Amino acid sequence: MQTDTLQPSAGLKDESQLVTFLLKDEEFGFDIMSVQEIIRLPKMAKVPRTPAYVDGIANLRGVVLPVIDMRTRFGMERAEETDRTRVLVVDIDGVKTGLRVDRVKQVTSVLRSEIEPPPAAIRGTSSDYLEGVVKLDNGQRIVMALNAAHVCEIAVTHKTVSANGGASGTEAGAGESSAKSISADTEVQKVVTFRIAKEEFAFHMEHVREILRVTTPNQVPDVPEYVLGVLTVRGQILPVIDLRRLLQQRSLADEFTDSCRPLREEYERRLDEVEKIFAGGHQEKVKSTISGRLREWLAETNSSSQLLMETLAQARGLNEKVVKQLHLLAKHEECGDTDAVRACREEIVAAGRGTVEALRRFEEQIAQNIQEDQRIIVVDAEGFVLGLVVDHVHEVLNVPKNLMEPPPRITSSGGMELSGVAKLEDGARLIMLLDVASLMKDQKLRDVQDSSAQTVEEQKTGEIQKTGEGAQELSEVQLVTFMLGAEEYGIPISQIQEIDRLAKITKVPKAAEFIEGITNLRGEVIPVLDTRKRFDLEVKESDDRTRIIIVDLGGVKTGLVVDSVREVLNLAKKDIAPPPEAIGSGIDQQFISGIGKVDAGKRMIVLLDVEKILSQQEQAHLSEVTT
């Protein structure tokens, strides 16, 4: 992050120094004592439901820095970033705030006699922000001296914010309690991370009960628009919230569609132009620019829906055919081979029209198939259980406490608050921790749940009376399920330390065949097992869904490579059967602790006994790998 150096001149008793900057054609200034440094526009994470003038948060050498767009703050039209765009880092009582400006001009010495009191309003800028008006160069140059403390104030609701950015006073609320809910002697906090509108968020693991696939809930009348309805999950009514709507973001389906439609429309326009060129017999060279941009978009776009990916694969294949034929066309035109030129042109038009049709079909399929990407995270805040629909569950992480920051001095205008910010990868990756307890303030949500609670309780009581085994019936085990090929497996979540993406693995000489190697997990070297090899399954190349599940094997923190993690699931113990004599999963029975039956047995989950994955001798060898 590049920093500009301020070089003020020597100050006098009757003068002050202003760091001046431009917003459009207007010149403003801050007292130099409040400006700590000037930096280029940093990479930022957008915080949802904050005032429009808050650009987001950034990492500044370990400090979470909220950034305000000064143009928007003063009611001006936003401007695109240029090479002159800068951020003034202002420090008010130890709290740092970044202020985005068009251009920093200079440090100007100003005599106190040159500063006039502010009028009621100047050129649309509220006088609340002004310290005074400075007239320089015989009144030819006007500088508006700003009150840094007032400019940096960000609308805060629901709780009082102290100078250090945390909650204070008797209304500190759930944000503070959530951030400190893990005991002081705990070195890490376990969180479940997920994405909403390309930003990364997380819940503390202690609040996450399970993670479910998205199914269509039952509609409920007279509820906020972000409440999708209710689901019945093992006898409990679960209100389901669209977290995108709650955070005032457009839907995931609209985001997919809006990324595709402009490319498709431009592709179609360009194809019409190409057809006219071909029909007119012009010798104009046809460029493949739009095909290249479409190729990049297709490479970046991914979905869990097989139908959507098949449609994108068709578009990709046809677009590549267009690119290939354009190269051949140029060669045939140079050679003057008219028959080959005519054939190439026909292929280009046909493949181009096919590409457009595939993209149009993709747009039509999105709304009905995008749920395969989404998940419902079931959270529990003091007995208030909700299902939150998110774009994609990312991973389970152990975040060191020293990488956790209190929430910055910005708060959403309703719905959900931040309880903190995790800074990973030297601050390049910011994860915003959402405060589950803030949802408890929504009385309409509580009414949705309470309205059906009595009915559910009566159903549970009836079941207990019928079976006479109430306590045993309701006993559950929480599992993380994952895929190896077409089979689904499960491990009790209590045996899992975290779930991470596949990182670089270093091979270890003379290690057992199923030991893939070692990897660096935030400074700790851990061995990695190829679970497929261990279970004598066909070896598969890793992809963007491959994950490492971190478990403890004989006292050694070990990574298990799996094809993908499916969900976190609460399974009643009564639905777990002992392993049969013959196992169809293809793995040895010694590794299996039981078979979980979901949806009345329509879905079977092979439950693994982690302790038996390796023998004592193999566990000893595993320990030697990392020493």
One fold for both 174-249+374-446 and 476-625?
yes
Helix (H) / strand (E) containing 256: helix 252-279
- pLDDT at 276 exceeding the cut of 60: yes
Q: According to the per-residue pLDDT averaged within each range, which of 28-37, 349-358, 489-498, 510-519 is highest?
A: 349-358
- Find the mean pLDDT for residues 441-466: 54
Measure the CA dihedral 385/431/67/74, to 10°: -30
User: Each residue of 150-160: pLDDT tens digit?
Assistant: 888 876 443 33
Q: Which CATH architecture has domain 3-151?
A: Beta Barrel (2.40)
Check: CB of residue 458 under 8 Å from CB of residue 440: no
End-to-end alpha-carbon separation of the chain, Å?
A: 38
pLDDT range class, residue 528, cuts 50, 70, 90: confident
Pairing type for strands 487-492 and 476-484 reads antiparallel
User: Each residue of 357-403: pLDDT tens digit?
Assistant: 999 999 999 988 888 888 899 888 777 788 999 998 887 888 888 88
pLDDT at position 267 is: 92
Interacting residues of 531 by C-beta distance below 8 A, sequence separation 6+: 484, 560, 561, 562
pLDDT range class, residue 119, cuts 50, 70, 90: low
Beta strand segments in 493-579, E: 496-501, 515-521, 524-530, 547-553, 556-562, 564-572, 576-577
**Residue 362 and residue 260: Cα distance in Å, rounded?**
9
Listed in sequence order, the DSSP H helices in 468-563 are: 470-474, 531-534
pLDDT at position 281 is: 66
- Find the mean pLDDT for residues 312-335: 88
- pLDDT at 62 exceeding the cut of 80: no
Nearest to 560 by CA among 568, 548, 552: 548
- pLDDT at 447 exceeding the cut of 60: yes
What residues does each domain of the chain span? 3-151, 174-249+374-446, 264-349, 476-625
Task: List the single range of 6-20, 167-181, 433-447, 582-596 with lowest mean pLDDT.
Answer: 167-181
Better-predicted residue by pLDDT, 431 or 536:
431
Nearest to 559 by CA among 531, 527, 591: 527
pLDDT at position 580 is: 64
**Residue 389 and residue 395: Cα distance in Å, rounded?**
16
At 272, give phi and psi (nearest 5°).
-60, -40
- pLDDT at 147 exceeding the cut of 90: no
User: Each residue of 587-606: pLDDT tens digit?
Assistant: 556 777 888 888 777 788 88
| Arithmetic mean of pLDDT over the chain | 78
- Give percent above pLDDT 90 in the chain: 13
pLDDT range class, residue 283, cuts 50, 70, 90: low
pLDDT range class, residue 257, cuts 50, 70, 90: very high
Q: Which CATH architecture has domain 476-625?
A: Beta Barrel (2.40)
Helix (H) / strand (E) containing 122: strand 121-122
pLDDT at position 99 is: 94
Tokens describing residue 237: 């009514």
- pLDDT at 328 exceeding the cut of 80: yes
Cα 587 off chain centre by: 35
- The CATH code that applies to domain 174-249+374-446 is 2.40.50.180
Beta strand segments in 269-358, E: none
Check: CB of residue 232 under 8 Å from CB of residue 461: no
- Find the mean pLDDT for residues 474-492: 84
Beta strand segments in 258-414, E: 375-381, 384-390, 392-400, 404-405
Three-state SS for 401-463 is HHHEECCCCCCCCCCCEEEEEEEECCCCEEEEEEEHHHHHHCHHHHHHHHHHHHHHHHHHHHH
Prediction pTM value: 0.63
- Find the mean pLDDT for residues 18-36: 88
**Residue 590 and residue 615: Cα distance in Å, rounded?**
11
Give the count of beta carbons closer than 10 Å to the beta carbon of residue 259.
12
pLDDT range class, residue 318, cuts 50, 70, 90: very high
**Residue 441 and residue 512: Cα distance in Å, rounded?**
55
pLDDT at position 450 is: 64
- Collapsed DSSP state (helix, strand, coil) of residue 322: helix
